[in-house]
């Protein structure tokens, strides 16, 4: 009887361990260039501000052949400028991915590939929830920052806005993607951000930026991961 109880307990512990492992994973975040990141949980891919025109306005060039494999996924575009978006490249990639973007970006695209855009309600794609936050950008009348929730992790993409007003209100961010000009604004005001990973993006090659909260400054193809555990 005692031996049977022992093996029963072992079996239960093993079952619990396997269940926990099955629900654990990681978001692998790979830098492409400018504000473009390839983020994957191994099944679905999130692409921020990609594809864009390589080298547009003197910003970063990238090699399309070095972009990680794009599985079923969604493109998340902040605004229509060429250093964030290129509709021709999007069509040439011949993928079945969807896109979340302002109407000025999607108006000429195949509607079957467009997730209906909302400024007031969260948008979803296969477990990825996206909240659009209208933020000013003096060179684009229609510009959005995005708060993404995926596997319980909150990711914030600031885009090209010149103000840190919204990100200063955000709490418990797993990764915050921020421009060098907003970093400078926050550093001058001696403020801090509630994020575990601060990732600088959209800097020019060789651009000097003040040290701030140990931000990541990444090169094309570099990656880091965020662990998650689904409930």
Residue 3: predicted pLDDT:
52
pLDDT at 20 over 50: no
Rounded mean pLDDT, 164-181: 96
In whole angstroms, what is the distance from residue 193 CA to residue 156 CA? 12
Per-residue pLDDT band for 214 (boundaries 50, 70, 90) equals confident
Tokens of 98: 């969807």
Rounded mean pLDDT, 53-58: 95
Residue 9: predicted pLDDT:
58
- pTM of the model as a whole: 0.88
**Span 26-229: which CATH code?**
3.60.15.10
Closest CA to 173 of 149, 154, 148: 154
Instruction: Enumerate the domain spans of the chain.
Output: 26-229
* Peptide bond between residue 51 and the one before it cis (omega within 30 degrees of 0): yes
């Amino acid at each position: 009887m005692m031996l049977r109880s022992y093996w029963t307990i072992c079996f239960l512990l093993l079952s619990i361990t396997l269940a926990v492992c099955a629900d654990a994973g990681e978001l692998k975040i790979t830098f492409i260039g400018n504000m473009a990141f390839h983020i994957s949980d191994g099944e679905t891919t999130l692409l921020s501000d990609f594809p864009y025109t390589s080298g547009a306005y003197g910003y970063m060039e990238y090699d399309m052949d070095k972009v990680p494999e794009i599985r079923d996924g969604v493109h998340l575009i902040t605004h229509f400028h060429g250093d964030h978006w290129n509709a021709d490249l999007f069509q040439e990639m011949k993928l079945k991915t969807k896109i979340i973007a302002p109407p000025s970006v999607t108006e000429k695209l195949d509607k079957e590939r467009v997730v209906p855009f909302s400024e007031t309600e969260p948008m979803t794609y296969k477990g990825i929830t996206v909240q659009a936050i209208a933020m000013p950008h003096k060179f684009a009348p229609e510009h959005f920052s995005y708060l993404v929730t995926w596997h319980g992790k909150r990711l914030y993409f600031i885009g090209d806005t010149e103000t840190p007003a919204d990100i200063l209100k955000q709490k418990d961010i797993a990764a915050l993607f921020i421009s060098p000009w907003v970093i400078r604004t926050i550093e001058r005001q001696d403020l801090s951000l509630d994020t575990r990973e601060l990732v600088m993006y959209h800097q020019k090659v060789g651009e000097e930026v003040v040290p701030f909260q140990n931000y990541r400054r990444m090169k094309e193809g570099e990656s880091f991961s965020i662990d998650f555990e689904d409930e």
